[in-house]
Structure 1
Amino acid sequence: MTELINNPIFGIMISLMAFEIGSIVYKKTNCAIFNPLLIAITLIIIFLLLFNINFDSYYKGGSIINFFLAPSTIVLAVPLYKKIKLLKANAIPIICGILVGSSCGIITIFYLCKLFKLDSALSISLLPKSITTPIGIEISKQLGGIPPVTVAAIIITGIMGAVIGPFVCKLFRIKDKVAVGISIGTASHAVGTTKAMELGETEGAMSGLAIGIAGLMTVFLAPLLLKILS
């Protein structure tokens, strides 16, 4: 049994099975709160605790999946390519929207951490919460944050964006497809983009674009704003 658990295939199979269950539940309920990623994470945690399996043993396979995380985001370029004319026609509003969204996200987190008197390392770890995981981890490391906390914050932010993003757009009567996609992608990266793709091809393409640009902007904005605000 120990040999099976320590085999990388074990972690991969558990991850795939948990996500597949999450996907089935999501398709059956069609409810945003039952996000496949959230269900998969919950099932894996329960499974590891229930059978007293060490996380390091699971991560031997999980790390292989994690390795493909960054390259997989390239797939988001496909819908963007199909909407390249729309991007060119709205280049300035799109760039300005992502810049404002990224800046507001960083500033808001900074002052909320001050309000709740969180320590410096924890505060820095939460700053890159709205960008894709590979970039967020590197920013957290460079600024002196705690990468695992950053990963958790990114996942929670993405799931919340996927759940409440479309509702917020409806609440404020944001009907422009470009605006909807940019806002969801800037606020909740790849997880939010999966929801944007469900809303429409244009929303998905714009959200995918926002992931890359917001990530690049945050690389420069996070250290700069942290220095100014501190």
Structure 2
Amino acid sequence: MSMMIAIIGTMTIYYLAKKVYKKWSYPFFNPLLLSTTVIIAILYFINVPANTYIDQAKGITHLLGPATVAFAIPIYKYMPLLKKYFANIVVSISSGSLVSILSSFVIALIVHLNPELTMSILPRSVTTPVAIEISQGIGGLPSLTTIFVIITGIIGGVMGPYIIKWFSIQSPIARGLALGMGAHGSGTSAAMEYGEKEATFSMIGLIFAAWISLFWVNSLIPSLLLFIRI
């Protein structure tokens, strides 16, 4: 598989998935879920290893950097709102990060995961590059952490808008922070469907979640490690 085929093929599949979702807005037709499923099926039938595809399509991943930097413009635009609700943002994201880590830990205990797998699942609600660093630092498996992050992102990106609708959340700031905290990059993609303000605060939620999770790494997670070893 050549790099051009991998990149163009991925972009084409995602574009078509968005067209399908626009026409039939069912949860299982969400572009993230549908395009991922189609790509996995294609790789399976043409017998291409996942690592080969990831290596050839890494050009798309490199676009995450410029895309993230581009959010500096709308963040600057909404700086007065960011300053006004800064305390609310810190408290809500800190609480969300704490719930994410503790819920992951409880799930790991319930299904009797070994310590290595437990440490791999804890950073699942953080954007991939940061989650990988956290996983390495606490003794997890970065490759497994990546899978958990992707699964969390897809589920959050698919279910997030429906949860927002069910609870009648009208605040653009609350919508954005919830999607960014709960589903990182995938949530930001879903937030873009609402508007610029939601997308901006989703990115803010994603960034704050990464920073605060690094704090939990040095405070909460060592205590969880001791609990596992007892």
TM-score by length of 2: 0.88
Q: 1:206 deviation in Å?
A: 1.3
Q: Identify the match of residue 40 of structure 1 among 25, 35, 38.
A: 35
Q: Identify the match of residue 45 of structure 2 among 22, 33, 50.
A: 50
Question: 1:25 aligns to what?
Answer: 20
Residue pair 2:3, 2:56 contacting (<8 A) in 1 also? yes
**Alignment of 1:10 onto 2:13:** no
Residue pair 1:77, 1:209 contacting (<8 A) in 2 also? no
**Alignment of 1:108 onto 2:108:** no
Q: Cα–Cα, structure 1 residues 170 and 28, in superposed 2: closer, same or farther, change >3 Å?
A: closer
Q: Cα–Cα, structure 1 residues 32 and 208, in superposed 2: closer, same or farther, change >3 Å?
A: farther
Partner of 1:129: helix, strand, or coil? coil
Q: Cα–Cα, structure 1 residues 67 and 197, in superposed 2: closer, same or farther, change >3 Å?
A: closer
Q: 1:73 deviation in Å?
A: 2.1
Residue pair 2:134, 2:214 contacting (<8 A) in 1 also? yes
**Alignment of 1:128 onto 2:123:** yes
Deviates most, 140-149 or 29-38? 29-38
Q: 1:32 deviation in Å?
A: 4.2
Residues 80-133 of structure 1: per-residue CA shift (max 9 Å, x gap) = 222111111111111111111111111111111111111112111111111111
Quote the Cα distance in structure 2 between the aligned partners of 1:54 and 1:137: 21
Question: 2:60 aligns to what?
Answer: 65
Q: Cα–Cα, structure 1 residues 144 and 131, in superposed 2: closer, same or farther, change >3 Å?
A: same
Unaligned runs of 5+ in 2: none
Unaligned runs of 5+ in 1: none
Residue pair 2:71, 2:200 contacting (<8 A) in 1 also? yes
Identity %: 35
Q: Which runs of 4+ in 1 moved over 4 A?
A: none
Q: 1:11 deviation in Å?
A: 2.0
Residues 23-69 of structure 1: per-residue CA shift (max 9 Å, x gap) = 22122223343222222221121111112223343233222222333
**Alignment of 1:222 onto 2:194:** no
Written as runs of structure 1 = structure 2, the 5 A alignment for 1:75-224 is 75-224=70-219
Quote the Cα distance in structure 2 between the aligned partners of 1:30 and 1:49: 27
Partner of 1:189: helix, strand, or coil? helix
Amino acid in the other structure paired with 2:37:
T
Amino acid in the other structure paired with 2:182:
A
Q: Cα–Cα, structure 1 residues 119 and 177, in superposed 2: closer, same or farther, change >3 Å?
A: same
User: Which is bigger in relative contact order (C-alpha 8 A, separation at least 6)?
Assistant: 1
Residue pair 1:128, 1:222 contacting (<8 A) in 2 also? no
Quote the Cα distance in structure 2 between the aligned partners of 1:167 and 1:204: 17
Amino acid in the other structure paired with 1:155:
I
How many residues are treated as equivalent by the alignment?
225
